[in-house]
A and B are shown apart, each in its own frame.
Chain A
Amino acid sequence: MTTESLLQQAESLLATMSRGSTRPETNRLDVVIESSGLVPAVSALKNARWGYLTALTGLDLGVEAGVVEALYHFCSDAAVTTLRVRLPRIGGSVPSIYQLIPAVGFYERELAEMYGVTVTGMPDDSRLFLPDDWPVGVYPLLKDFDPQSAQPVKVPPPPRGSSTGERFIIPIGPQHPALKEPGHFEFTVDGEIVTAARMRLGYVHRGIEKAVEQRNWIQSLYLLERVCGICSHTHSVAYCLGVEQLAQVEVPPRAQAIRELIAGLERIHSHLLWLGVAAHEAGFDTLFMYSWRDRETVMDLLETVSGNRVNYSANILGGVKIDITAEFAEAIRRGIDYLEERSRHYLDIVTTDTMFLQRTRGIGAMTREQAEHFGVLGPLARASGILRDVRVEAPYGAYTRFPISAVTAQAGDLEARFVVRLKELFVTCNAIRTILDNLPPGELAVKVPRRIPAGETISRVEAPRGELFYFIRSTGGDKPDRVKVRTPSLCNWTSVLHQAIGCQLADVPLLLAGMDPCFSCNDR
């Protein structure tokens, strides 16, 4: 179905709830609804199987307007439908749609604690990102937030012993050898079987979304690149694409190709890193050491090309600032050939090693229906047979010229997730070769004005972990009015926490690693 017909379908589905609709961009439909119309509207989209909920953005229109908006973004291929619920700035309330779409749980908690919107009927309304000693009634993403008002308050220590009763809870994190990253999980176990799972984030929340509002468009680029230490390039691409759409500038084809090339190298880096971590969680340290040794090859390539190993800083608004010379191209070809050969070897290991398969085959299997229900993204969805890849569904940048084919598997278990990610390495290697062979000549960048015209835009790109979603709003000034970042890890938690229940405790670390969680992305 074309984007146009998808949007018309959505418009007719939402006609009864609609209080006015607009088409801000060719692939977008904005429908204003009352908060009472939210549940019927979401049900209508869900029952018609119109796309999936990709993000929930909170938007403060300012003290004068007195309005906070909750934007529910649904995607189907390239089409994006946004349900705009207008709420009073103080005391606004929306019903929870957790019963319809479980993945919304984390987004609703974020909306509630960042904007003070009451979400009625949330199954878990405890804090997700804000610290426990954050004062009640202070909402950091509101425009009139005063940092002075956020003085830590005294919180009573958590009750000891008696309140947990007979349950035996294994705490993992924020400091734990299994989890080098700051998240906290509580697994209730009965012997070796997990019977309940909870998690808490926010230990390193940096408030980047708020900080971006105080910086100009160019400074924000560098800040947003630092959301993640692994997929930093993807973040800057998502932001650049959005700003370039708002400024209506056309990026030269050579710059677009170089962006895809670096995204490819970054994907290889990310997947090899993940392979090592996952093998370590399974207790197969040899694979961990080997894959991380090989990962150095791609790190060196990125360093050769950009000068940096982690935040490559390749993008500028309107293009890129590094060029791929013939010499670099040759180095990349050599490196890719070696990595492809190694990846074939690793694929062979993870699909044939009997001992390793005991830990992955059939473990944590998620059917296609479950995956759709939990709204998972990226390799996790593709391992369950859902073709969910922005590069294919809604190609952006150079992906129209150098398309990639999505890799899917059917089993949905841990083994399938290994297979999908490793096969993606081959696809990526081939794409990089094609780009190097057909690198378009021309300029590297065009000029982008310092003030970006007023407007709202959505940019979606495929990060190594799944769809990365940016909502960018400009009021015509030299600073963004709002940048919403929804990272793929945040979507996938819900499914994994559900799957952990009933599993052996020994399988939990591998199950968590199987979704490739990025805590840095969660705690923007």
Chain B
Amino acid sequence: MTFTDFSPLLTILFFPGGLFLMGVGLLYEWLDHKLVARLQNRIGPRWFQPFADVVKLLAKEEIVPAIVNPYLFVGLPLVGLAGALTAALYVPLMGLPPAFNFPGDLIVTLYLLSLLTLSLGLAGWNTSSRFSLIGATRALTQLFAYEAPFLLALLGPALVARSWQVSEIVSRNAGQWLIVTQPIGFVVALIGLMGKLELPPFDAPEAETEIVAGALTEYSGRGLALFHLGKAVELVVGLTLVAALYLGGIGNPLEFALKTLGLLIIMAGFQSVLTRLRIDQTVGLWWRYGALLVLLQWVIWIVWKGLSL
């Protein structure tokens, strides 16, 4: 056994996966909160607020309700976070080539990202509080609403590159800003990401004015912190994915920072100017407009490709 065998372990535990990724995730979460706050004429949190929240939550007692299945209650946050962290291994984080890749890893990445939402839904169902149940129902309903259009939108660049492997799509499309040729796909992907992250206006699953904190109402301490971290990681992974596929690839850390932050600013803008959608309106939006528009985009692209051959 040679010394170099430890490098995958380092990749997963510290850089660019693991701890480093969680740090970046929390930093991005802070940026998002700060941007929204400034747009809303508020001062917003200081940079270490998300870190402080996580540390505080980890230090607190975790209250496990009496009637839940304790294994599920403890395990689901782990599964969700693990899914998000694993997904990070297949995307070009920080402009570095993905840590692992194989043909078709784009699909795997997307489903690993959905694992967090599924865990959230199960967690809400498991705690069987009324607010959690409604939150879980809404979270899963929303999952079925945005998942297909989001997937279709990310497959657009894959079609162009004729590969379902993230690293290949990025290298073959390098320098091609697909946002220009596939604007609809880009918009659907970005808004799909907001749906995935349950950011306003897609925050019906955790609408505090109706159902307190939705599926996570009964969570406290460690479980809540892990779900929180999972969301933060998913934010970075999602932004990286959209930037890599639509904004001409990511070659170095500077490019990564500029492109993902650009997307974050657009998302913060959407978050502050839009009103929360009801869950039926969310579903209607995705299936009536999102999915159809992406399909239209595909048809246009295929026809154009056919004519130019």
Contact surface of A with B, Cβ cutoff 8 Å: 168-171, 176-178, 189, 192, 280-286, 289-290, 293, 353, 355-356, 358-359, 504-509
Could you say which residues of chain B place their CB within 8 Å of the CB of A177?
Answer: 208-209, 212
Known pairs A177-B208, A506-B278 / 5 extra A-B pairs, C-beta < 8 Å = A169-B130, A283-B200, A283-B207, A289-B41, A504-B278
Across the interface, which residues of A come within 8 angstroms of B261, CB to CB? none
Task: Report A517 CB to chain B, min CB distance, Å.
Answer: 14
Task: Report the minimum CB–CB distance from A175 to chain B (whole Å).
Answer: 10
Q: How far is the CA of A508 from the CA of B209 in the complex (A)?
A: 9
Cα–Cα distance between A178 and B210 once the two chains are bound (Å): 6
A-B contact pairs, 24 of them (CB 8 A): A168-B130, A169-B130, A170-B130, A170-B131, A170-B134, A177-B209, A177-B212, A178-B210, A280-B209, A281-B209, A285-B200, A286-B39, A289-B41, A290-B40, A290-B41, A355-B201, A355-B274, A358-B281, A504-B278, A505-B134, A505-B210, A506-B210, A509-B209, A509-B210
Q: Give Cα distance in the complex from A286 to B272, angstroms.
A: 6
How many Å lie between the Cα of A189 and that of B279 in the bound state?
15
- Best-buried of A189, A359, A508 by chain B (most CB within 10 Å): A359
When distances are taken between beta carbons in the complex, the residues of chain A under 8 Å from B201 are 283, 355
Query: Are A506 and B204 within 8 A (Cβ)?
Result: yes
Q: Any chain A CB within 8 A of the CB of B273?
A: yes
Flag if B275 contacts A282 (CB, 8 Å).
yes
Tell me the minimal C-beta distance from B221 to chain A in angstroms.
19
Question: Which A residues touch B203, using CB under 8 A?
Answer: 283
10 A-B pairs closest in CB distance: A283-B276, A178-B209, A284-B275, A289-B40, A506-B278, A355-B275, A509-B209, A356-B275, A286-B272, A177-B208
- Which B residues contact A (CB, under 8 angstroms)? 39-42, 130-131, 134, 200-201, 203-204, 207-212, 272-281
- C-alpha gap A319/B263 in the complex (Å): 60
Which B residues are CB-close (under 8 A) to A507?
Answer: 278
Chain A nearest Cβ from B81, distance in angstroms? 25
User: What's the Cα separation between A359 and B282 when bound, in Å?
Assistant: 12
Q: Which residues of A contact B211 (CB under 8 A)?
A: 170
Q: Which of B40, B209, B279 contacts A286 (CB 8 A)?
A: B40
Nearest neighbor of A513 in chain B, beta-carbon distance: B209
Taking CB atoms, residues of chain A closer than 8 Å to B274 are 284, 355
Q: Which residue of A lies closest to B200 (CB)?
A: A283
Q: Choose among B134, B209, B278, B279 the residue with the greatest number of A CB atoms under 10 Å from its CB.
A: B209
Shortest CB-to-CB span from B9 to chain A, Å, is: 43
* CB nearest to B276 among chain A residues: A283
In the docked arrangement, what's the CA distance between A170 and B204, Å? 16
Q: Is the CB of B278 within 8 A of A359?
A: yes
Contact A506 B279 (CB under 8 A): yes
Q: Are A178 and B276 in contact (CB under 8 A)?
A: no
Are B207's CB and A285's CB within 8 A? no
Interface centre among B40, B200, B280 (most CB of A within 10 A): B40
Distance of A279 from chain B, by nearest CB (Å)? 8
Residues of B within 8 A of A504 (CB): 278, 280
Q: A284 with B276: in contact, given A290-B40, A290-B41, A358-B281 (CB under 8 Å)?
A: yes
Q: Could you tell me the distance between the alpha carbons of A359 and B41 in the complex, rounded to whole angstroms?
A: 23
Say which residue of B42, B273, B277 sits within 8 Å of A358 (CB atoms): B277
Chain A residues positioned under 8 Å from B42 (CB to CB): 289
Q: Which residues of A contact B279 (CB under 8 A)?
A: 192, 506
A509 to B39, CA, bound (A): 25
